[in-house]
Chain A
């Protein structure tokens, strides 16, 4: 199975900060990667698919980049509602998730 490793696992930031989360795949997965946001007690919400395509309705401060084994999710200017846990997911084979990155307010 393809393993995904997110870094960091925990991140403290302030409103207005630029934030970057990295997801590394154990083998190349082209652009078959998605990013999700999950808030406590809620289901995950799709943010980005195909590594860099913003899902309809997702604010443009979110962006994704990368291919093959290294991917990033960037929030250009953190908003209060962005404090949440973020997961990457590979869809090249069995759709496993990364372990998550918890983004907290500094």
Chain B
């Protein structure tokens, strides 16, 4: 079964740090780009960061730039999100998601086709 399982969410004080992990199973992890997306309580989806299958290309949303770092370890089938200088507004469920590559008549399209169940980060004193 294709699966992503996040962990590492916790209650942390403002200014603190957390490292989220996402372990993949059921597919060849090293073939896929991976993403982190979060959702604050009662809010919409907020893409944070993407890492290429090899780990060499990384993108961040403005909301993540400078404080969050994405990385991956293909030997461990895992992607990580290091979060520093956490703020109350970082309180959210954090999802990892796989980027599937679709080829339609020679044109390549990506979408996030597999998602984990999420891990909850609460930033509060």
Q: Which residues of A contact B (CB under 8 A)?
A: 1, 31-32, 34, 36, 38, 42-46, 49-50, 53, 55, 87, 89, 91, 94-100
In the assembled complex, how far is the CB of residue A21 from the closest CB belonging to chain B, in whole angstroms? Answer: 14
B residues whose Cβ falls under 8 Å from a Cβ of A: 35, 37, 44-47, 50, 59, 61-62, 95, 97, 100, 102, 104, 107, 109-113, 115-118
Contact B104 A87 (CB under 8 A): no
Closest to A31 in B: B109
Given A44-B37, A55-B111, A87-B45, 9 more A-B residue pairs with CB atoms under 8 Å apart are A34-B111, A43-B115, A43-B118, A44-B45, A49-B100, A50-B102, A89-B47, A91-B110, A97-B45
Are B109 and A50 in contact, CB atoms less than 8 angstroms apart? yes
- Which secondary structure dominates where chain A touches chain B? loop
Bound: A45/B45 CA distance, A: 12
User: In the complex the two chains form, is A46's CB within 8 Å of B109's CB?
Assistant: no
Task: Decide: A49 near B102, CB < 8 A? Known: A94-B47, A99-B44.
Answer: yes
Task: Say yes or no: A97 contacts B46, CB within 8 Å.
Answer: yes
B88 smallest CB distance to A (angstroms): 21
Q: Top 6 closest A-B pairs, CB basis? A: A43-B115, A49-B111, A50-B109, A34-B111, A97-B45, A100-B44
Partner of A46, one of B45, B47, B59, B112: B112
Instruction: Report whether B115 and A53 are in contact in the complex, using a CB–CB cutoff of 8 Å.
Output: no
Instruction: A53 to B104: give the CA distance in the assembly, Å.
Output: 9
Shortest CB-to-CB span from B6 to chain A, Å, is 10
Q: Which of B50, B62, B107, B117 makes the CB contact (< 8 A) with A43?
A: B117
